Structure 1
């Protein structure tokens, strides 16, 4: 059996008396795309932030490619250099052109020369269909284009794992499709991804596995057709009835 690229065991995260993650377990295989679904507050975003070590863990173990990255002695910046993360907000630097936004991490984090970083940035912009916008300013782009630049910025360092947190939720409906098409391409290329999403059709069509979070745990997981079409848990059926109708 292939060793998981990401292994989360017994993950617990609280804010005061509020338990957000309650002993959550999740494995992600190399080249797998896992979609996290669940109601607001179920722990999807917090899980992604914990994996990227943007939150301190109260308990549990996170392993990335066999390394325990949840050990308090671990260099968090070194771990984040192996992970790409994209949030709802694009968070592009408005004073930097698109190519410089994408080239920033290779230069600052990985010590790549300016010329090489720019070359790599343009290549990844070409990959996301925006090479022609390399010299544009962020405010000259549509929301969908800005989100694709944010994905390019996460990809340019060739991360082992790509985390995506509701990356279409801030977009106008007509712009959602272009971002989802990019993610579909990345999945088909074998990029290992964990994405929190409310786009059920996308989860059904693109993800290899869907994990339903409820009460800070993975309550149900499996192939999209099973979880979204024939859920076994009452809570899953209730959630899907609300967002999809039926059941």
Structure 2
């Protein structure tokens, strides 16, 4: 397995966010995390990327225990890309400078190499003409695609996407989802937290329903979203359907 989370526990004060959670993700697999707000989706992604420490359990990437205190988190993050729902682009820097900052400052690439790689990615996602633009000159969908490119430019083994369409206007969602579909076709391993149930159904290999910090149900999208076993999953999806989001 590329990613293995075993008995992962995370609390904030008395509040248990991840409750002995277990999850495995195979290489080239796309896993969609669904569940109500507060179910632990975003916290799990942050724990995998070592932005949030866990209280118990282990997380392995490529067979290495990355939650071992002796592990350098910066080296781990070179292998994992994380994209948030808020784009987190530096407003005073151009698109190109936003993308090349980490490769040159953190990962030791030359400025020329970083620029060439960034332009290759921008060209692939149709944004090469925006390289010298500033974030406030881009649409939300364009900014989110730049944020994804920034995560991809370091050739991560795993890409984590945290509600990357939730801050977008509905007409801009499609361009980001199209980019994610293209990444899936290229074999990128992805774990995405999403409220876009229709998208999860189309792009994910497996849907994982989180409830109160645990994996309550998981399986192929058609099964989990179309014929769930657990009453709590059915209740959650009924509300999604009522809101017109599935």
Shorter-chain TM range is over 0.9
Q: Give the structure 1 partner of residue 78 of structure 2.
A: 81
TM-score when normalising by structure 1: 0.97
Q: Structure 2 stretches of 5 or more lacking a match?
A: none
Distance in 2 between the 1:175 and 1:145 partners?
8
Is 2:43 the counterpart of 1:53? no
Q: Which of residues 68, 71, 74 in structure 2 aligns to 1:71?
A: 68
Say which SS state the counterpart of residue 208 (structure 2) adopts: strand
Is 2:138 the counterpart of 1:141? yes
Is 2:198 the counterpart of 1:192? no
Q: Which of residues 123, 128, 142 in structure 2 aligns to 1:126?
A: 123
Q: Displacement of 1:108 after TM fit?
A: 1.1
Per-residue deviation, residues 59-83 of structure 1 (Å, max 9, x unmatched): 0100001100010111011111110
Q: Give the structure 2 partner of residue 44 of structure 1.
A: 41
Is 2:203 the counterpart of 1:206? yes
Q: Displacement of 1:129 after TM fit?
A: 1.7
Say which SS state the counterpart of residue 236 (structure 1) adopts: helix
Q: Displacement of 1:205 after TM fit?
A: 0.3
Q: Which of residues 73, 94, 98 in structure 2 aligns to 1:97?
A: 94
Distance in 1 between the 2:185 and 2:114 partners?
26
Is 2:12 the counterpart of 1:12? no
Q: Displacement of 1:56 after TM fit?
A: 1.0
Q: Displacement of 1:192 after TM fit?
A: 0.2
Q: Give the structure 2 partner of residue 219 of structure 1.
A: 216
Distance in 1 between the 2:173 and 2:207 partners?
20
Q: Structure 1 stretches of 5 or more lacking a match?
A: none
Q: Displacement of 1:102 after TM fit?
A: 0.7
Q: Displacement of 1:190 after TM fit?
A: 0.6
Q: Which of residues 162, 168, 172 in structure 1 aligns to 2:169?
A: 172
Say which SS state the counterpart of residue 4 (structure 2) adopts: strand
Distance in 2 between the 1:126 and 1:220 partners?
39
Q: Displacement of 1:128 after TM fit?
A: 1.8
Per-residue deviation, residues 42-71 of structure 1 (Å, max 9, x unmatched): 000000000000111100100001100010
Per-residue deviation, residues 212-232 of structure 1 (Å, max 9, x unmatched): 000101100000000000100
Q: Give the structure 2 partner of residue 26 of structure 1.
A: 23
Q: Displacement of 1:29 after TM fit?
A: 0.4
Q: Displacement of 1:22 after TM fit?
A: 0.1
Show structure 1 runs of 4+ deviating over 4 A. Answer: none
